[in-house]
Amino acid sequence: MVFNINNFFDNRNRKSKIADFQDLDHLDGVSISTVSANLYDQKRDDLVLFYFRSGASHASVFTQSRIVSENIKWNKKISSKNLSALLINTRNANALTGSTGYNAIKELAKDLANKLSEKQNLDEEYSKEIKSNEILFASTGTIGEKFPLNKIKNVIPSLIKNIKYTQNKLIWMKAAMGIITTDTKPKLAMSECKIGSTIVKLYGIAKGSGMIYPNMATTLGFVFTDAKLSSTILQKILKESIKTTFNAISCDGDTSTNDMVSVFATNSARNPNIKDFNDPKLKNFRQSLNDVLLDLAKRVVGDGEGASKFISISCINAKTLDDAKNICFSIANSPLVKTAIAGEDPNWGRIVMAIGKSYAKIDEKKLSIKIGPFKILHKGNLFKDYDEKNVSEYMQNELLDITIDIGLGKKNFKAYTMDLTKKYIEINADYRS
């Protein structure tokens, strides 16, 4: 089955300009470098550096796992509102590696800060001392293995030498390729919008692709913008957007120790100062960030391990938002629902099962279920015109909608997931992530 991710974006009614990632080009204040630190057996870029020569304000959200990787612990301690770099490695999660793993980050940060300072000082205009605590780290890969500090340190010089101050779509593509693990496709998205009368850009990259459940699970997502916005404002916008984007996706209900989604603003654009999150001038930017995050999140699900179908699950008219979420994810995480969809079997009883096992309040007599445009259950009764043949046919599509109407309130939520196929088992039974 050819799975066309671009179909996700059909008929979308956007206020901001959204384009194919082919349009990603230069973004002022961001420098990119990728190298291979030989972390994999085969040769591939596995280390990606984003360098902000003039600094960047930033905001991040992290995994909600009770066990977090050493780099996440490091990041959580960063209090600087002005960052200099983000370093991303694959193959090793640096989780459950104890003080050795944490000290490795410390040493790496120091080394990277020193070498970046040296580079920075070559150019008087940008001359300044870069500090360890201006560097964020993202890691993804196997948990519990020793962090390959030396392999990474060995390539820092060439990583810094490779820094490009001007980007184009190929460099963005290399960065997106450099952070993936079992992903079958690089994930990029972009948007442009205005703050006041100033056009600003938002470029994003992400990786999946197993362990994707609400709070982002081995998802790394990074959005870069040239907008002039404080870290405080960015944090509020990210917090708002994450709920309906990266926290609305699930591949298999598993959650990683390493998730993070960050937004970096280089402040190069000369947009008006924004001091208030509710400033009307910020509205388009908020929408644009949401668009980019949702595009990336959908790309993560669409490329979820073994996915052959992309499923949008809407729960409407629930009593509480929690109920609506609970029902969406109970369906999205049900192996029986996901295998039925893989088999294109309109076995809607499994959807009922998943609704029933959620913690949400249900009144059977008010419950309605639609698959695509087809009513199946209507207020607790099989819909009079229900014809299984129509739904069977509909289920052969790659993009499927499931709508649950609880009929008990006014709260809605929408979650995104994919089907569960033999390919998922193949990838996860044989692959050491």
Token code pair at residue 371: 């698959």
Nearer to a second copy, 389 or 432 (CB): 432
**Euclidean distance between CA atoms 358 and 362, whole angstroms:** 9
DSSP for 261-282, written as a single string: EEEEE---S-PPP---TT-GGG
Task: Write down the catalytic residue from 218, 219, 245, 255.
Answer: 218
**Euclidean distance between CA atoms 78 and 340, whole angstroms:** 45
**Euclidean distance between CA atoms 251 and 428, whole angstroms:** 13
**Euclidean distance between CA atoms 227 and 282, whole angstroms:** 11
Residue 293 CB, nearest approach to a second copy (Å): 22
Residue 65 CB, nearest approach to a second copy (Å): 4
Nearer to a second copy, 129 or 364 (CB): 364
Residues 223, 293 contacting (CB under 8 angstroms): yes
- Where do we find the tokens 């916005």? 229
Nearer to a second copy, 199 or 336 (CB): 336
Nearer to a second copy, 94 or 191 (CB): 94
Nearer to a second copy, 175 or 355 (CB): 355
Classify the C-alpha dihedral 393-396-397-401 as positive or negative.
Answer: positive
Task: Compute CA 163 distance to the chain's CA centroid, rounded to the nearest angstrom.
Answer: 25
Nearer to a second copy, 96 or 199 (CB): 96
**Euclidean distance between CA atoms 230 and 265, whole angstroms:** 8
Nearer to a second copy, 225 or 433 (CB): 433
Nearer to a second copy, 84 or 421 (CB): 421
Number of H helices, E strands in the chain: 11, 15
260: buried, middle or exposed (CB in 10 Å: 19+, 13-18, 0-12)? buried
Closest CA to 135 of 165, 114, 154: 114
Give the strand order in the sheet containing 310-318. Answer: 381-382, 374-378, 368-371, 399-405, 310-318, 411-418
Residue 16 CB, nearest approach to a second copy (Å): 34
Q: Point out which residues bind a second copy (CB under 8 A).
A: 63, 65-68, 93, 95-96, 98, 142-145, 210-211, 213, 252-257, 333-336, 339-340, 342-343, 345, 347-350, 352-362, 364, 367, 376-377, 380-382, 420-422, 424-426, 428-430, 432-433
Amino acid 235 reads Q
Residues 324, 248 contacting (CB under 8 angstroms): no
**Euclidean distance between CA atoms 402 and 352, whole angstroms:** 12
Residue 279 CB, nearest approach to a second copy (Å): 37
- Alpha-carbon torsion angle 223, 11, 311, 21, nearest 10: -30
Nearer to a second copy, 45 or 70 (CB): 70
Residue 218 CB, nearest approach to a second copy (Å): 9
Active site residue 142: no
Residue 366 CB, nearest approach to a second copy (Å): 12
CA distances from 135 to 132, 194, 228, 280, 314 (A): 6, 29, 20, 32, 39
Residue 355 CB, nearest approach to a second copy (Å): 6
Residues 340, 428 contacting (CB under 8 angstroms): no
Closest CA to 171 of 325, 60, 24, 10: 24
Residue 345 CB, nearest approach to a second copy (Å): 6
Residue 257 CB, nearest approach to a second copy (Å): 5
- List active site positions: 218
